[in-house]
Structure 1
């Protein structure tokens, strides 16, 4: 028998047909298939739930529309996502063991452009171009909305008018002093008036409130104030039943309760916050209890829970009904009816509708016997809100409410929390103590979750909000709201006065708590502005911690810690120049803020202080020893990192000799003025005159880094940003 020999295998270095295959460099790299296997295994062992992440992807698509600058970039984003989805299908075709990874990748590639398209369509549908310039105009208008604000001494009317120049219908908002108001100026009435109108204002500084963007999605083409009197041309033919009921309920509550408790109770009952005094408003804000003044989760949940509980108890006493229907289903329907009615009665604002949607989903879960508090329920509620009002994503209300809810659901779903709260044989004191401990921990967690959002939007940090909410939330939920509902019901038979006294006592306690916390040293600390990149990094880390399960969630601490480091490393701006150039702040020369002039506008002063992270007094520049001022200009020398900067600042628009101005500009590194400066004015670095500010908007200058940040850099070509006026 012939002996068979094994085939000879060529040595890698000996050449031959197999040598090239052996020496291919990518043979040493991790193959794409192994990456797919690793991803599939990671999703399987981490308890991956696709639903919440799809909502996150939808929100990311909406956010991309705000971040990207133009229609070309938006279309490119959509095309990239679609190509990525097709590539995922092609790469994983035939691999049945990676269905979860494939479906997740394709789904995200679909919801991302879906989110961008949703906000794009919404912007095109509701956005209204602003008027070209400020002017006084004679208006023949129909009243669309009436918002009473007695604490501000005014009534705000939203009017439908026709612009004479372009013959287009537009919506404007006009402030009317209380002395010029009339009870006949209600929704549907036709009036004639003269008003001073101006385009909705862009941010006064980068990072401050963008009213122009908010007005765009509200459909406002202009805002303004009344000049003279209003003439009623045609009274309303049919009253707005909900608006009329809301105003009557608010007035009824204020009649029953005097002073601050009455204004707070009116806010709880009808959503009318226009009567709340400025001092009470500030105390609630600085104590971390301000969310209680906005009709949102606490109030809607209290109403629905009370209706559900009463329905279960009362209907449960009827044996015939108990044997024939599912009581939880009927009680859930009654609770839903109460929640929807309360939402409509309080004005159906976006935070209230958002809370109502979430509460209705919880009721649905209870009725179906499902887990009422889950991330999937939160994701469905968030998706519904973003589908209807995608612009809410960039507002603090949406971000704060859902951050709080996600934190609560994540904590309640933790295994150790369930074990800690599990029923056991113990005294009522021990059981109450455990619940109070979890309530306090929940407050701390909410404060931590909200901190990035609060710092980004409001540039302030509160340190005692968790302590205040441990008392404030139960007080409002279990005492004030039930007593308020009982008092209103007893008023139907004229027996509500004793209960109104109890309502007043509970609200006095709430306000005393707010004032006590707000007055503590360090209760509120103004902080430098958190930049958008820092906020996104921190929110990504917090979402990772909340949505994953097991040990993998610990990786979310990495971006959180990175975001904290980024925030601590964020420099303060040295110069803060408002959009009109009339107000300027200088940071770093004193613990107080140097300003160009003492302004009558608290809005401008407050924004300068917030962006400077300073809560001290301001010093006018002409009183600063190191500054030299004439009636027309001030000069000041600033030193940053061993470098000297000479700043020339205009004080008014009076004419000056051009040659002298040019010589002064030649010696200055930075020139700031609210006038148009001639071309002969050529500073060494930055010329922020009226031409520059109309194009770029409010400006922050960082001398140490040589950086200039403007409002225009974050606006792109979105409809609410115009740059230089038409």
Structure 2
């Protein structure tokens, strides 16, 4: 640190001098503090009350006042800013959680549902039930992820429509007179239903409903928390045909027009590009991957190219880049515009408008909306003459996203987006001098080498920053993703998506084949690349579930490495290495009991044995397999009863139980307590009260962890038996 005369200021301690040298980077830690406060709220086991939240809010205000009173001092800026940011994140999470309506208590029987269609989603086709049996290799359908691969598209069912019903009313004897649900109810329509369904219609259907699923194992993915913040009441499957229950929809509604436009675009794409190329084209231009065969989607996932099918930051960046380039070229054709108009700013606005139109066309899904928010900041930076991609712009965008949706911090899309952008911004910030030196000098090869190096570094920076996030949320590792993305992303950026945009522009004139046909050539190259890379050795490696502290260590270590510029930034490598080793440092459960108490799993070396039979509860079994990274196999219990150390298992009602010397009895059928006096029993009633159960064996000692013990009493945790709050009728006026 130097003073005004240029001399070194040695009156301050070393740490203070280093922090003052980094004073322009201190503001970048604001979203990190917000994230710590959000994580602290969701780690609680009991919901804080209003007095506690008022105290936290007053603490944040006091810290802000301390900073305002002494803005030039280092201690208030560091300590006060950190405390204020953490407190603000904590309060924002509490406010966001308590402004949501409660989860309703859905009936456990077939009900007549009447509601208004808020959205129609086309889901990918599913394989027939016969394919869900256990493969001899130990994986369901022979694929590590539990999804079948290698089957031709003809084996699949037709695409399934899912309705988001708003203001849903349950028409049966028990729910008669109840007010409409305040949450969205998602119902899958029968594949053979011929009804033409569009948003805005009021429909009536007989469906089997179910609440949001609890974690399949203590500490697993929490579907109820996700539903709480997504506004979902639960899901269901239509048992009958959907019938209209209201007047026809006016044809000029925006949502109806957009849905009709998407269907028209998909139909015209598939008419020119049938099969898998048309499915990929429809996915990237309309956001619907329903026309893609399952084998192609699995190949993209195994090769680390699944992000090419999901409309998010990459696609939006390409669309806006193409639009900005086209606008600049169009303005350059006019001498007056080139000399007198702010062409760069006009092109940035045109790019932002094109990005917004693309997001609407693809369904305005949450990841795309987040990416559009970040893109708006980039466009604003271009308009104001600032650097387009910078750490400060990322900090502003991350702050807005965290305050708008605090719970999104716990989900994979936001974590991957922020980690990838931070890795790109910090990586190219450090590599900029080397890239400039590479292109400095005569020779066309230097510029070509620079562009090649930029592509390679982009794949390394973005992919490397998100690898542990993928491991934590999806339980897989794709070692060849860098090579696959190095070839596929340029094809998408300079060939496939620009031609797709040209096809959209030519559709009103009927000239879309001129662009779709060459677009299909590029898609076929990417498909061949995906299938080729997915067939390489160890293309998709299953890894055990990463604990929450491991993922937090990775994200914090990445922030430390990317947000500082001094040499101490390399201290962030320590938590990064710890995070990579985290999945192998924690104890794995030896036995798991499903949330409904009907299925159990026993860890037997490298195999997870399922009882009473594999395939009884496929979603839960897939979660177990992903968490433990083990292959599935049947549980062999002769006579329906067996013993595993201090744990006795009972799978059949007629089986005898040997509890002598045992500590725990796990039974899938009711059992009289007199059979095993003094032995702790885990059964359907235990799961009904406390959710999924995990048993850890430590020699003769047995440790049991329940889902309710892990999650605690929070607003989104349903009551015993996964029952929500009854939708009580409105009180009559006096």
What's the TM-score, normalizing by structure 2?
A: 0.85
| Aligned residue runs from structure 1 range 297-316, under 5 A | 297-316=313-332
Match of 1:71 in 2: 47
SS at the partner of 1:431?
Answer: helix
Q: Report the Cα offset of residue 685 of structure 1.
A: 6.6
Kindly provide the CA deviation profile for residues 419-469 of structure 1, in whole angstroms up to 9, marking residues without a partner as x: 556631243234322332342233233333212211211112111111111
What residue is the counterpart of 1:174 in the other structure? 187
Q: Report the Cα offset of residue 581 of structure 1.
A: 2.5
Q: Which residue matches 1:117? A: 91
Aligned equivalent of 1:284, options 262, 276, 300: 300
2:378 equivalent to 1:384: no
Residue 666 of structure 2: aligned partner: 672
CA contact (8 A) 2:57 2:91 kept: no
Partner residue in 1 for 2:365: 349
For 1:607-662, what per-residue CA distance to the aligned partner results, in whole angstroms no more than 9, with x for missing partners?
Answer: 23222212x4x33122xxxxx422xx32133xxxxxxx14322324x477xxx65x
Q: Which residue of 2 aligns with 1:621?
A: 635
* Aligned residue number for residue 28 of structure 2: 52
Is 1:157 aligned to residue 163 of structure 2?
A: yes
Deviations 1:44-64 (A, max 9, x none): 123542332111112222222
Residue in structure 1 matching 2:718, options 719, 722, 725: 722
User: Which aligned pairs between 1:691-710 and structure 2 lie closer than 5 A?
Assistant: 691-704=685-698, 706-710=702-706
**Aligned partner of residue 709 in structure 1, secondary structure:** strand
Match of 2:467?
451
SS of residue matched to 1:323: helix
- From the superposition, tell whether residues 287 and 45 of structure 1 become closer, same or farther in structure 2 (CA, over 3 Å): same
Cα 1:168–1:603 shift into 2, 3 Å: same
User: Looking at CA atoms only, which structure, 1 or 2, has the larger radius of gyration?
Assistant: 1
Please give the alpha-carbon distance, in whole angstroms, between the structure 2 residues aligned to 1:374 and 1:649.
Answer: 58
The 8 Å contact of residues 580 and 674 in structure 1, kept in 2 or not, is answered as no
The alpha-carbon distance between structure 1 residues 80 and 252, as it changes in their structure 2 partners (threshold 3 A), is same
In structure 2, how many angstroms separate the alpha carbons of the residues matched to 1:543 and 1:51? Answer: 13
Give the SS at the match of 2:324: helix
Q: Name 2:352's counterpart in structure 1.
A: 336
1:541 offset after TM fit, Å? 0.9
Contact map agreement 2:465 2:558 (CA 8 A) in 1: yes
Aligned to 1:21: none
Change (3 A) 1:45 1:681: farther
Aligned partners of 2:589 and 2:696 also within 8 Å: yes
CA-based RMSD: 2.7
Structure 1 residues 230 and 291: alpha-carbon distance in aligned structure 2, compared to 1, 3 A threshold: same
The gaps in structure 1 that reach 5 residues or longer are: 1-33, 623-627, 638-644
Report matched runs for 1:573-592 at 5 Å. Answer: 573-589=589-605, 591-592=606-607
Equivalence for 2:5? none
Would you say the 8 A contact 2:190–2:239 is kept in 1? no
SS in 2 for 1:141: strand
CA distance in 2, matches of 1:251, 1:683: 66
Query: Bigger CA drift: 667-676 or 604-613?
Result: 667-676
User: For residue 38 of structure 2, what is the aligned residue in structure 1?
Assistant: 62
TM-score using structure 1 length: 0.86
CA distance in 1, matches of 2:593, 2:392: 45
Residue 348 of structure 1 and its aligned partner are, at CA, apart by 1.1
Name whichever of 147-156 and 532-541 sits farther off: 147-156
- Structure 1 residues 12-38: Cα deviation after superposition (integer angstroms, max 9, x where no partner): xxxxxxxxxxxxxxxxxxxxxx99966
Match of 2:82 among 100, 105, 108: 108
Partner residue of 1:635 out of 634, 639, 642 = 642
1:212 maps to which residue?
224
User: Residues 682 and 67 (structure 1 numbering): CA distance in 2 closer, same or farther, change over 3 Å?
Assistant: farther
Secondary structure, counterpart of 1:333 in structure 2: helix
Q: How does 1:559-570 map to 2 (within 5 A)?
A: 559-570=575-586
Cα distance in 2, alignment partners of residues 417 and 127 from structure 1: 53
Give me the whole-angstrom Cα distance separating, in 2, the residues matched to 1:390 and 1:694. Answer: 30
1:395-434 to 2 correspondence within 5 Å? 395-414=411-430, 417-420=433-436, 423-434=439-450
Determine which of 202, 219, 232 is the counterpart of 2:244.
232
Residue 667 of structure 1: how far off its partner (Å): 4.1
Deviations 1:649-688 (A, max 9, x none): 2324x477xxx65xx3344333222345444355777532
Count of residue pairs brought into register by the alignment: 667
Whole-angstrom distance in 2 between the partners of 1:685 and 1:252: 66
- Taking a change above 3 Å as real, the CA distance of residues 217 and 677 of structure 1, as seen in their structure-2 partners, is farther
User: Could you tell me whether the CA contact under 8 Å between 2:598 and 2:684 is conserved in 1?
Assistant: no
Return closer, same or farther for 1:88/1:600 CA change in 2, 3 Å cut-off: closer
Alignment match, 2:609 = 594
2:439, 2:446 within 8 Å by CA — same for their partners in 1?
Answer: no
User: Match for residue 641 of structure 1?
Assistant: none
| 1:523 to 1:707, Cα distance in 2 relative to 1, 3 A | farther
Q: 1: distance between equivalents of 2:433 and 2:674? A: 70
1:131 aligns with 2:105: yes
2:335 is matched with: 319
Query: What per-residue deviation string (whole Å, max 9, x for no partner) do you get for residues 54-110 of structure 1?
Result: 1111222222221112333786476357448747977x99877x5243134323322
Cα pair distance change 1:498/1:344, threshold 3 Å: closer
Shift of 1:177: 1.5
Q: Work out whether residues 261 and 504 of structure 1, in 8 Å CA contact, stay in contact via their aligned partners in 2.
A: yes
Secondary structure at the residue paired with 2:439?
A: coil
Going from structure 1 to structure 2, the CA distance change for 1:492 and 1:189 (only over 3 Å counts) comes to: closer
Q: Distance in 1 between matches of 2:712 and 2:314?
A: 38
Partners in 1 of 2:361 and 2:178 — Cα distance?
A: 36
Match among 187, 191, 194 for residue 199 of structure 2: 187
